Amino acid sequence: MTMTNASSTPRLPSTATPIRIRGTVYPSMGAAARSLRVHLTTVARALDAGRLENVGLYRKAGKARSCVVNGIEYPSMIKAAEAVGMDAEVFRRRYREQVFSGASITHPTK
């Protein structure tokens, strides 16, 4: 009797179908969704509708969230990030976590 371990177990062939979006070939819809930072369903619906070239380009606009940094109120986190010379995503994360070195941040009063 031959024993096998997980590393010698043959892998099943992938059933994923490569997908091309704006000239980039992704090994699967899941890989495309992860790369474009959208949900898998978004890619599937775009494929069904024949609009793969637009998937991941547009985001639903949310209401701008004002914030206060060092006593200055900014109309949006993007404007505040620009003012302090920081990437907007990094700013959002640090603002949420209240992690800024040498800066006073507060939430604006309504």
Domain ranges of the chain: 19-54, 67-106
Mean pLDDT calculated for residue range 8-18:
71
Q: Which residues contact 39 (CB under 8 A, 6 or more apart)?
A: 33
pLDDT at 45 over 90: yes
Find the angle CA(32)-CA(38)-CA(39) to the nearest 5 degrees: 95
CA pair distance 107, 68, nearest whole angstrom: 6
The distance of Cα 82 from the centroid of its chain, to the nearest Å, equals 20
Confidence of residue 107 (pLDDT cuts 50, 70, 90): low
CB atoms within 10 A of CB 82: 14
pLDDT higher at 10 or 43: 43
pLDDT reported for residue 61: 66
CA pair distance 26, 24, nearest whole angstrom: 6
Q: Which residues contact 21 (CB under 8 A, 6 or more apart)?
A: 32, 36, 43, 52, 53, 55, 56
Confidence of residue 6 (pLDDT cuts 50, 70, 90): low
**59-88 pLDDT, tens digit each:** 666 677 788 887 888 888 888 889 988 888
pLDDT reported for residue 65: 75
> What percentage of the chain has pLDDT greater than the value 70?
72
